[in-house]
A = this chain, B = another copy of it.
Amino acid sequence: MVGNMNTLKPNWFSETCDMWPGATFSFEVKELLHEEKSPYQQIHVFDTTHLGKVLVLDGIIQCTQKDEFSYQEMISFLPLCCHKNPEKVLIVGGGDGGVAREVAKHPKVKEIVQVEIDAKVIEVSKKYLPFMAVGFESEKLTLHVGDGFEFLKNHTAEFDVIITDSSDPIGPAVHLFEENYFTLMKKALKPGGIVCSQAGTVWNDLDLVTSTLRYCKNQFAVAAYAYASVPTYPSGQIGFVVGSLDKDAKLDTPLLVFSREDEKAMNLRYYNSEVHKAAFTLPTFVKYQLA
């Protein structure tokens, strides 16, 4: 056995989650800006020495100012750019506002509906994370506080794209990883509709990725897994399950290709049309597991 190797100082915060035992990410805190127990979860907002502002829910990092753009851009533009006319978009979750910020940029999007279960996350994000909560200011957006699962039950053939920006499958988001949820989303989509859901990482959650993709494949004509690099998430990346009702859809091929001018105008820092295709290219140990 070994002696005390824990060299972290008291002002370092370490992520703790039973989903990923034996390894963790920590950051140095400048100031705890907010701490609160909402009806759904424990909320922390930190100012940090090197990652900017950080939102933590139930001990798990949701986003950091340094790298949130890669996640928000990818979960938004992957589905939007392989739909031929994504006029009406539903966002489930996304209480920090980052996904609304990205979706509102897309030139073809006319109307965004968002359903976030925890009003406190919206409130805290507006106060401490304005670089993401700016998404709530879009004139295209109608924001509801409520349960996305219940919301979908009352909507049929209404949306072109549904983006599920959930926390991990413990706590309030657990139902968003079940096959029923994909059935409900299918019902709420117009013909040719597309879904994109946060779906965990292949290094830590390959079983979760596999089951979520299977549920999507069971309900949708075409489905695939893609991923993005997000250094402050466990294993440094996160993935998305994307599904389309159109049997001829090519999810890895954007129908709308952005020029350098488009990228600049939309302030895209991670997503580009080549990254879209590469995101669906999987390492060998994943490729055959998910095939």
Contact = CB atoms under 8 A, between A and B. Distances in A.
Interface of A: 1-14, 16, 21-29, 31-32, 48-51, 66-67, 70, 203-204, 229-237, 260, 263, 268-272, 274-275, 277-278, 281-285, 287-288
Given A12-B6, A70-B283, A48 B26 contact: no
Contact of A284 (B8, B13, B269, B283): B269
Contacts of A32: 1-2
Nearest to A33: B2
Contacts of A275: 281-284
A208 B30 CA distance: 27
Contacts of A10: 3-6
Contacts of A50: 21-23
Contact of A269 (B235, B270, B274, B285): B285
Given A236-B229, A272-B284, A284-B268, A2 B8 contact: no
A275 to B, nearest CB: 6
A30 to B, nearest CB: 8
A257 to B, nearest CB: 14
Contact of A278 (B12, B230, B281): B281
Nearest to A202: B229
Contacts of A3: 10
Q: Report the 5 A-B pairs with minimum CB-CB distance, sorted nearest first.
A: A236-B236, A22-B50, A231-B235, A278-B281, A278-B278
Given A16-B7, A284-B270, A229 B229 contact: yes
Nearest to A260: B288
Contacts of A1: 11, 31-32
B16 A5 contact: no
A274 B203 CA distance: 19
Contacts of A27: 22-24
A229 B237 CA distance: 8
Contacts of A281: 274-275, 277-278
Contact of A67 (B5, B12, B203, B288): B203
A61 B2 CA distance: 18
A33 to B, nearest CB: 10
A232 B23 contact: yes
Contacts of A11: 1-2, 5-6
